[in-house]
Amino acid sequence: APATRDRLRIAIQKSGRLAEPARALLTACGLSWRESRDKLFCYGESLPIDLLLVRDDDIPGLIADGVCDFGVVGRNELDEQAGERARIGLPQAFREFRALGFGQCRLMLAVPDSWDWQGPQQLQGQRIATSYPAILAQWLQDQAIDASVVELSGSVEIAPRLGTADAICDLVSSGATLAANQLKPVETLLDSEAVLAGPSREFEDERAGLAAMLLRRIDGVLKLKD
Ligand code: ATP
Ligand code: ZN
């Protein structure tokens, strides 16, 4: 059984694209912390809600393991890890609670500029490099395409030039990186943004009330923004 706790713990990115907007959102919700910029843990002052500063990739797992109760993470990362859990037969342990309206990007399939794009069936038998193998494999299956997925942890966009893949599936915001690598985006696999992720299971202790309050406050802040 999960440990009982009377404080809520939220994981956010320590540094990177989502770090500042995540903190700004939680501050706008009335949360404050005992300042500890470079440390991993920020103790909640105004409310019993603490922060854990981590790598974004670790956030779904921290929720799954019950180390954290909520997290601010890209939908791309959350869906990928949910897909991976499903693939290896683990139960779904986390889910998206709210879309937060920042960190927008798209997970896209991109092919060399020279290709005359006719549609997904053109990928049949090709090698596609990505850091999102679970999302890509699911999409290929939905399209009934047999292609090989080449998993790379970074620099996915140079794979076609290196000859290690024919096409790529990567996050795109402006498209400048693709263009610089003579690639063009042709299909969108996922529209992503930062989301509040939390556990699939309900809280059975003090955290239930805190979680409900946090969600109400986030909804209030999001409403002010549109
Ligand atoms: P960490 O050190 O935490 O692992 P990271 O390098 O994986 O950092 P960032 O590059 O900061 O992470 O990206 C975090 C999230 O920002 C992405 O998962 C994605 O949801 C979002 N994002 C928005 N625009 C982009 C983009 N152009 N490229 C990559 N990610 C983007
Ligand atoms: Zn990361």
Q: How far is the CA of 79 from the centre of ligand 2 (A)?
A: 14
Ligand (nearest to CA of 74):
1
Q: Is residue 37 predicted with pLDDT exceeding 90? A: no
What's the gap between Cα 149 and its chain centre? Answer: 20
Q: For residue 122, report the distance from its CA to the centre of ligand 1, in Å.
A: 29
Q: Counting beta carbons within 10 angstroms of the beta carbon of residue 15, is it exposed (0 to 12), middle (13 to 18) or buried (19 or more)?
A: exposed
Tell me the two tokens of residue 32: 């404050």
122-157 pLDDT, tens digit per residue, is 999 999 999 999 999 999 999 999 999 999 999 999
Cβ atoms of 132 and 80 within 8 Å: the answer is: yes
pLDDT band at 173 (very low <50, low <70, confident <90, very high): confident
Q: Which ligand number lies closest to the CA of residue 171?
A: 1
Q: What is the value of ipTM here, to two decimals?
A: 0.97
Tokens of 225: 């923004």
Find the 55 Cα to ligand 2 centroid distance in Å.
6
pTM of the model: 0.96
**141 φ/ψ angles, rounded to the nearest 5 degrees:** -65, -40
- The pair of structure tokens assigned to 171 is 């996050």
**pLDDT band, residue 38 (cuts 50/70/90):** low
- What b/e sequence results for 177-206 when a residue is b if at least 16 CB atoms lie within 10 Å of its CB, and e otherwise? bbeebebebbbebbebbbbbbbbeeebeee
Residue 149 to residue 138: CA distance in whole angstroms: 11
Instruction: With cut-offs at 50, 70 and 90, classify the pLDDT of residue 225.
Output: confident
CA–centroid distance, 85 to ligand 1, in Å, is 21
Q: Are 194 and 74 in contact (CB under 8 A)?
A: yes
- For the cut 90, the answer to whether the pLDDT of residue 87 exceeds it is yes
Give the nearest ligand 1 atom to 192 CA.
20
Three-class secondary structure of residue 155 per DSSP: coil
Alpha-carbon distance 135 to 148, whole Å? 13
User: Which residues contact ligand 1 via a Cβ below 6 A?
Assistant: 13, 16-18, 55-57, 74, 76-77, 103, 105, 171, 173, 192
